Amino acid sequence: MPVEILLELKRKRIIGEKIKMNEKAEKITRKIFFSAVTFVIGLMLISGCSRHEDSTGSEQRFITIKGSDTMVHLASSWAETFMTQNPDIEISVTGGGSGTGIAALLNGTTDICAASRKIKNKELELALQKNIHPHEIAVAKDGIAVVVHPDNPVKELTLEHLSKIFTDKSFRWSDVGGANEEILVLSRESSSGTYVFFQEMVLKKQDFMQNAKLMPATSAIIQSVSTDKLAIGYVGLGYALAAKDKVKIIAVKADDNSPAVMPSDQTVKTGQYPIARPLFMYLNGEPQGTVKKFTDFCLSAAGQAVVTDTGYVTIR
């Protein structure tokens, strides 16, 4: 029976190979295990060290800012400029979203909350329950631009058109002077401050239609609008201007009789462009000490110059 002997031999070889593999696997597992343990211990040490003591009053040397992702870039630019002028003060900036920032303010884990929307009534109630008194400061403005594919013939839309486009499934491009095609509606995620602002300001508090595609990031909206001919989306003014060669920015009319306005620094500041929003900082109570020094800086001429540099619109 030569076949069986052959197979027998083959099996032995396979088994031998398996044992070798097992040894190898064991070695690797051991290595992984030890590096994982070292990593976890390292993490514990780091997190233990970074816990800083909160001191209040004028001697505070460490400020934390947490909140809106839209404002992270702005807030960290402010922090950098401020820290070069005041080398003994340290400011840490983190994002996570306006809601996260407000939650942190309520839990007392941040000094300043950056928010691209107003605090909600529910959040205010929660704050008062926790004996925290949110103090609001408007620090800059942001315009929201409506963008379409460069080949789209539509140049201007009224707020009413926009509202219909984003809420009514049967509304087509031909209803606003374009091709007789369906409109591919792109929106930010419902967690975005921009989403809520657009809903309130443009949709007049109606719900977005359920078919609207919710994109996880502004860059994803720009990417889709630049490739899909029937798409329409909305993004922050800074992003739209940066992507000017990939997408077309729509001029917006407040109503049928008003002139169509292109979004720009000037038109947002003067209020001619209808889709603009203020950006806020929230504190617990009136600003004091170092925090006051920082918020005063943000509103000063030097601070507002940073606003212009980062693509937002000054408040004054």
Is 231 one of the binding residues for another protein (CB under 8 A)?
A: yes
Task: Please give the Cα distance from 142 to 74 (Å, whole number).
Answer: 11
Closest C-alpha among 309, 307, 257 to residue 281: 307
Stretch that binds another protein, among 43-51, 95-103, 158-166, 257-265 (CB under 8 A): 95-103
Q: Which of 35, 38, 58, 211 binds another protein (CB under 8 A)?
A: 211
233/263 with CB nearer another protein: 233
234: its two tokens: 């909305």
Is 103 one of the binding residues for another protein (CB under 8 A)?
A: yes
Closest C-alpha among 133, 50, 132 to residue 90: 50
Q: Which of 7, 41, 138, 302 binds another protein (CB under 8 A)?
A: 7
Q: Which of 111, 123, 142, 265 binds another protein (CB under 8 A)?
A: 123
98/284 with CB nearer another protein: 98
Cβ atoms of 304 and 265 within 8 Å: the answer is no
Closest C-alpha among 267, 249, 31, 9 to residue 152: 249
> Helices (DSSP H) in the chain: which residue ranges?
2-49, 72-85, 98-107, 121-129, 159-167, 193-201, 218-227, 237-242, 265-270, 289-299, 301-309
Task: Please give the Cα distance from 166 to 233 (Å, whole number).
Answer: 9
Is 142 one of the binding residues for another protein (CB under 8 A)?
A: no
Pick out residues in 63-82 that bind another protein (CB under 8 A).
Answer: 69
List contacts with another protein (CB under 8 A): 3-4, 7-8, 10-11, 14, 37, 69, 96-100, 102-103, 106-107, 120, 122-123, 126, 181-182, 184, 189-193, 195-196, 199-200, 205-208, 210-216, 220, 223-224, 227-228, 230-231
